[in-house]
Structure 1
């Protein structure tokens, strides 16, 4: 007898505990979304009501030329306003980006039992985790997403334990992206008044840990009722994201002090060959609020499954994060307290997605 998707316990066991994921539901011939995935009306994404950014991608190759200062201004402006921007000429080969998407489909296209070996508690490495949704045990409505998460410690570990379908290409993606991440962080940290001799030490602390995720959003029979990822900000320093051509990433505009911006949502459209960069909570705390970790979410689609592949750069768990003294001295008031990053992580991963409430943990 097959699982009863109308029964909450049966569905949870099938999707989460047995490792079939959302893809397992779709492959079972699901014709309508189970009620566990139906979002409350205020959380649903209306594609028609969102506007497009209309912002041109930033050409990172110009950082090394006569337009250096202009590109620096663009990066700083984007980090302080939207918290999201797209980059081209970033140094990551376009063929590699295509291979990444193919390898993601290769991994998620396997039989459920081959993916389920990486579930929490049974994975051969604590640094590799296959799962679904975000915190399924605590969510009022589940997210329409499966993922594989791979924490980087060293090359040997990655080549031994990351899934063979994607390990080499994911590792190359990480390697070739780090130079770009460091370039962007150098711009942002220098703007905060950090002396050049201290800049590298600060940057190293911000990217002490790296993680590559592959997200899979199966096509959904009722996309208007679901979300692929709920409203949240990222906890780390910088996130690098490869979108496929289907799109579905939405970022919230923060309300300004004059009340002109009502905090609407805008779509970050996929641009061929571009990578999306977004600011995480750690940089918002470090900059004492000068840089914004953008609230974002992902919609589902009924026409085709899609993938996205982010790299998360975060401090090591033992690192202390707090506003830089130079920034506090300039502002006269610290908005955040110093916290041990491991404590911040536990709070972040211990709660369902809920906008930018993760930042409350560090607020004074």
Structure 2
């Protein structure tokens, strides 16, 4: 039930329980490694459950006669929220449902089957826990399967599960559709900034795409734990498919955490660190986290879309002037990606890598 975890340097940092197996024992007490410090617990920061909602963008309008109105709406969503839900996005609902089904089927497999695809220390591919680097680090109430998708050379075929049989084929089709969506979204985001539609897609080269499936079992004390620690994403954009049966994603809005309510057929999009750097902070990556539920489990499927590892990233000249000096340096995206995956999730600290020190 427990896995021995070592740091990227090979230092043993303790045993980590498989959360699903732990849940099957129906513990009355949450193990100490999952219990958050008081200041980090979900109920310690207000959660906005009012009528405030993350913006909803209609992709069909972006491509139709109402494109200017929807484009202005997209610009406001990116600048004021960093998150939005997208509808009429072109990904078939049957495919979304099939992907959700095979992902959940994987997590329901016996532990010994899932452990055939272990996530190595300092990496984010395979099954298990990511971003664990110290023995006293608090753990997320979550199991995950993460896989590199594109370009093909980033894949580790040994980590692609053989069961369920349809997982690989479904994931290939799903990822191809999500990739097309990401390219269209980047085109629309570029237009919303007054840039050429193809600017980001051309700049990113052979863009990197990865997927992570997250499974959050019910937790006896959801007030004490987090499903996923607060963080921003290192991608350019991220596409999230939420489980309609259980809300859990929260985003930071000012001093509040806003719950992102799942919408039928919608996908959740968020701005990643790369777009924040390119726009010199005009569009910002937003801190987000996941909370758990006492009665319901939750599944999410996340696609990260980012520049090629050999691309250099820095603020675009049009977003720098005498009143708005460059906030970030130019850096190699591959170097940033390695930095991101070898440090624990901790708010927006990952962007310290790129910030210009004053």
Q: TM-score range by the shorter chain?
A: 0.7 to 0.9
Question: Deviations 1:64-122 (Å, cap 9, x if unpaired)?
Answer: 22210111111111111110000111111111111122111111111111111111349
Corresponding position: 1:264 with 2:256: yes
Mapped to 2, the partners of 1:332 and 1:226 lie a distance apart of 40
**Cα distance in 1 for residues equivalent to 2:183 and 2:346:** 29
- 1:136-175 maps to which residues of 2 (within 5 A)? 137=134, 140-153=137-150, 162-164=160-162, 165=164, 166-175=167-176
State the Cα distance separating 1:168 from its structure 2 match. 1.8
Q: Which runs of 5+ in 2 are unaligned?
A: 3-11
Consecutive unaligned residues in structure 1, runs of 5 or more: 4-9, 16-20, 255-262
- 2:278 — aligned with what? 286
Task: Report the Cα offset of residue 350 of structure 1.
Answer: 2.2
Question: What is the TM-score with the length of structure 1 in the denominator?
Answer: 0.85
Is 1:324 equivalent to 2:316 in the alignment?
Answer: yes
Within a 5 Å distance, the mapping from 1:63-212 to structure 2 comes to 63-121=62-120, 128-132=125-129, 134-135=131-132, 137=134, 140-153=137-150, 162-164=160-162, 165=164, 166-195=167-196, 198=199, 200-202=201-203, 204-205=204-205, 208-212=207-211
Q: Is the 8 A contact 2:239 2:267 kept in 1?
A: yes
Distance 1:162 1:193 in 2: 41
Question: Hey, what does 1:50 align to over in structure 2?
Answer: 48
1:104/1:328 CA distance change after superposition, 3 Å? same
- In the TM superposition, residue 214 of structure 1 has moved relative to its aligned partner by 0.4
Question: How many residues were matched structurally?
Answer: 339
- After TM superposition, the runs of 4+ consecutive aligned structure 1 residues lying more than 4 A away are 154-161, 196-199, 329-332
Judge which range, 137-146 or 160-169, deviates more. 160-169
Give me the CA root mean square deviation: 2.7
Q: Deviations over 1:107-163 (max 9, x none)?
A: 1111111111111349xxx88411125325366311101101110135796888522
- Taking structure 1 as reference, are residues 14 and 250 closer, same or farther at Cα in structure 2, changes over 3 Å only? closer
User: Hey, which of these two has a bigger chunk of helix by percent?
Assistant: 1
Q: Secondary structure of 1:26's partner? A: helix
Structure 1 pair 136–32 and aligned structure 2 pair: CA distance change class (3 A): farther
Does structure 1 conserve the Cα–Cα contact (< 8 Å) formed by 2:72 and 2:192?
A: no
